[in-house]
Structures are given as C-alpha cells and as structure tokens.
Structure 1
Amino acid sequence: MKIVLHKAHTRGHADHGWLKSFHTFSFGSYFNAERIQFGALRVLNDDYVAGGQGFGMHPHHDMEIISIPLEGELVHQDSMGNRGTIRPNEIQVMSAGTGVHHSEFNGSADHAVRFLQIWILPNEQQVTPRYDQIVLEPEDRKNKFQQVVSPDPDDDGTWIHQQAWFHLADMEGGVSVDYELKDSTNGIYVFVLEGSVSVAGEILERRDAIGITDVTTANFQAKTATSLLLIEVPMEK
C-alpha cells in the first residue's frame, strides 16, 4: 500500500472576496509541482461563492466536470441549452468533449453557496458534449457507500467518460465501513467533508484528504459523525 496525505491546511487558496477557493491540486495561480493530479483526478476545488455572484460564461473541452453542492443553490447555464439549479443532495456532470461554454452563479442574492468542483481526465477525446443532473437519496449513504458516478450509464448514479467511480458516505461515530475497489489497478482518493475518520493508518479531519494505491480494499473507521467523498480513478496519467 502506498499513500499520499494532503492535509486541509496544505491546499492552495485564492480569496477574491466574492469567491474563496481551496485547491487540492494545482489550479489557476496556485502551482505545486508535487500536486498536479492523482491519476485521472486533475482538479478538486472547494469553492465558496457569495450571494448574487458567480462565474460568467467560460469554455471547457475534453474534461469530465462534476459539481457537488454542499450548501445553498448553484445555477448552471451552458451552450447546449441547459439551465438548472443544483442543491445539496444533487450532483451535476458535464462532459466538455469537443467544447462547451457554461456559467455558474449563486442562486441566492443573500446566502453563500458552497460546492466542490471536480475535473476528471476522460478516456475518450472529442466526445459529444453532454449534461446530466441527478437527485441523491441521503438514506442510501447512511453508514455505507452510495455510488453517485460510474463509467456505466445503466449503473447507479450518473456517468462519465472514464473508468472512475465516485461514492459518498455518511457514517455515525464508531462505525466501520469497507470499500472494495472496482479495479485493483486503480487508486482511491478520499476527501473528508466533515468529521474524523481513520483510514490506512492515518486520522483524517475535516477537509483532509488521502490518496491510496496498491490496495484492493480499504477500511474506514469513523471517530465522530463523518461525511466523506471517495473517488476511485485509473492511475495512468
């Protein structure tokens, strides 16, 4: 087993007033040669957007973009004609493929929105752009892993162009849960949303993260009530 530990305070940080963003991997003005990506996981941004603010139309291509709202409302609009609002317990996926423009704005004038934006390098280039948005059932991740993203359109959750799987879990303190990798050549990247959990001999607290490779299963022991995101990805860059 090999691990890479990313404590919350070691992340890159950008404060633009209306936008406060923590970057797990190199992004924008934050560059760390040791933190470019974890396999196919290229970006994991932890964003805060003030009321009435947001990102205007901007382009993407050949990237799988996953947005997970944690608090508030995020309004999406894109050049494919999609417009919608995502809230906690929902997830949004956009395959940028041959090229797409989109905007993201706080759906409230008064309250901040907090969300994760994650970029996965695709296993196919120049695909037809697509958009999807699904609702998640919180009970389906109580003391277990809830699959929210996979490579298979017919599997649970939504899907992307990569042999990657995303799972969420809400664990009560004292609970132990195992995760079995879908592909033993993959790695897993675990990001703690809230709480405290023991994994791979490390104690992770709020917004800490760990990358684990050369394993087929991983055990998680919640020290307190804990919510976490687990991303299984191919390690070939």
Structure 2
Amino acid sequence: MKKVIHKADSRGFADHGWLQARHSFSFASWHNPERIHFGALRVLNDDVIAPKMGFGAHPHDNMEIITIPLKGVLKHRDNMNSDWQFVHPGEVQVMSAGTGVQHSEINGSVDVHLSLFQIWVIPDKRNVQPRYDQKRFNAEGRKGKLQTLVTSFEDKDTKSLKIHQDAKLSRIDLSKVEAFKYNLKSNNHGVYIMVISGQIEIEGKVLELRDAIGISETDSFKITSKMDSELLFIEVPMINL
C-alpha cells in the first residue's frame, strides 16, 4: 500500500477578499512540485465565496469539472444554456469542458457565504462535445454506506452522474466509532479521501477536518471514525502526467 498525507494546513491558500481559496494541488499562483496531481485528479479546491460575488465568464477545455456545494447556493451559467442554474448543498454538478466552454459561477445568496469543493479530473477522451448535468443526492443514502455520486460513462451505475474518465466520486457519513471497508476498482486505481468534517483513522493515521490522504497500490483498506465524520472519496486511475 502506498500512502500520501496532505494535512489541511499544508494546502495552498489565496485570500482574494471575496474569495478564500485552499488548494490541495498546484493551482493558479500556488505551485508545489510535489503536489501537481494524484493520478487523474488534477484539482481539489476548497472555496468560500462572499455573497453576490463569484467568477465571471471564463473558459475551460478538456477537463471534467465536478462541483459540490456544502453551504449556500451556487449560480451557474454557461454558453450551452443562457439561463442561470442553481446548485444547492446535496446536489452535485458535472461539466465536461471538452472542445471548450465559457461559464460563470456566482454565489446566489445576498447574505450567506458559499462553501464548495471544485474538482478537476483529467479526461480519458479529448475534444468531446461539451455537456452539463446536475443531480440531488439524499443525505440518508450515505449514512454508514457509500453513496456514489459520479462514475464513468462506461460504468453500469445508472444513478450516478457521468464523466469521461474511469473514476468514481462518492461520499459517506460515519457515526462515532463506526468502521467501513473501502474496496478500490482495480490495482491501477488510487483514491484520494478528504475529511469534510470529523476525525477518522486509516492505517494508523489520524485525519481531522480537511485533512486528506491518497491511497494506492492496494485492493482495500479500513476506516474507523473517532467521531461523527463526513468523507469524500475521489477514486481515479493512477496515470502519470
């Protein structure tokens, strides 16, 4: 088993006033040569956006982009649809940038900060037709069990959102002293685990709020919660850049 631990305070940080951004991997002005990617996972940003503020229209191409609001409401608009799309906590948004898209992301609240994860996964197909989708996932569906959010178009799971990569994004909520065994898709995959809240132990390592661990070269591993905890799993092929 191979492990890499990223403590919360080791992440890159940018304070733009209206945006407080924490980067698990090199992004924008923050560069760490040892933190470029984890397999096909290229970006995991933990953003807090002030009310009514956000990112104006900007381009992306050839990237699978997943956004998970944790608090507040996200307003999204792109050149595939001129109407604003609202994304709330409990919902997940996916966008295949493919040949190129322009989109805007804004805090849709006038008085509540927006907290979200934005994840970029390197696709296994380039220059695809851009697409957008979103879906709500009931919190009851992840209490003590894995709730799959996103999978590949080739995956048989019909309840998840889809991206162009053999990846799996999922969440679980564990009660105090609850144990869970995670099984990886294959020996060619690794999984990056973010502690959304709480405290857990994996392979003798204790992880707390916004700590993360990347695990690869194993079939499975055990997680034990030391208090009520929420976890995000991002499982990806361990490609080299």
d(CA) in 2 for partners of 1:183, 1:83: 39
Verify: 1:64 aligned to 2:64, yes or no: yes
Residue 178 (str. 1) matches residue 197 (str. 2):
no
CA distance in 2, matches of 1:181, 1:103: 35
Q: Which letter maps to 2:149?
A: V
Quote how far apart the aligned CAs of 1:201 are: 2.0
Give the Cα–Cα distance (whole angstroms) in 2 for the partners of residues 83 and 62 of structure 1. Answer: 23
User: Could you tell me which of 197, 220, 235 is aligned with 2:223?
Assistant: 220
Secondary structure class of the residue paired with 2:31: coil
- Aligned pairs for 1:1-237 within 5 A: 1-81=1-81, 83-152=84-153, 155=157, 156-237=159-240
Q: CA deviation at 1:184?
A: 2.2
Q: Provide the rounded CA distance (Å) in 2 between the counterparts of 1:172 and 1:216.
A: 24
Does 126-135 or 212-221 show the bigger shift? 212-221
Pick closer, same or farther for the CA change 1:31–1:46 going to 2, 3 Å: same
Q: Deviations over 1:167-212 (max 9, x none)?
A: 1011100100111111221001000000001112211000000001
Query: In 2, Cα distance between the equivalents of 1:89 and 1:236?
Result: 30
Compute the displacement of 1:154 (Å).
5.0
Q: Residue 33 of structure 1: SS of its match in structure 2?
A: coil
**With structure 2 as the length reference, what TM-score do the two structures score?**
0.97
Q: What is the alpha-carbon distance in structure 2 between the residues aligned to residue 119 and residue 228 of structure 1? A: 18
SS in structure 1 opposite 2:193? strand
Structure 1 counterpart SS, 2:133: strand
- One-letter amino acid matched to 2:44: L
Distance 1:37 1:115 in 2: 20
User: Sequence identity of aligned pairs in percent?
Assistant: 49
Letter of the aligned partner of 2:179 in structure 1? S
For residues 106-142 of structure 1, give each alpha carbon's deviation from its aligned partner in whole angstroms, at most 9, with x where no partner exists: 0011110000000000000000000000000111100
Q: Distance in 1 between matches of 2:222 and 2:156?
A: 27
Q: Deviations over 1:210-230 (max 9, x none)?
A: 001111112110000000101
* Secondary structure at 1:9 match in 2: helix
Name the aligned partner's letter for residue 54 of structure 2.
Answer: G
How many angstroms apart in 2 are the aligned matches of 1:174 and 1:97?
43
Superposition deviation, residue 148 in structure 1? 0.4
- Secondary structure (helix, strand or coil) at the match of 1:139 reads helix
Amino acid at match of 1:105: I
In structure 1, list runs of 5 or more residues that go unmatched: none
Amino acid at match of 2:186: D
Runs of 4+ in structure 1 off by over 2 angstroms are: none
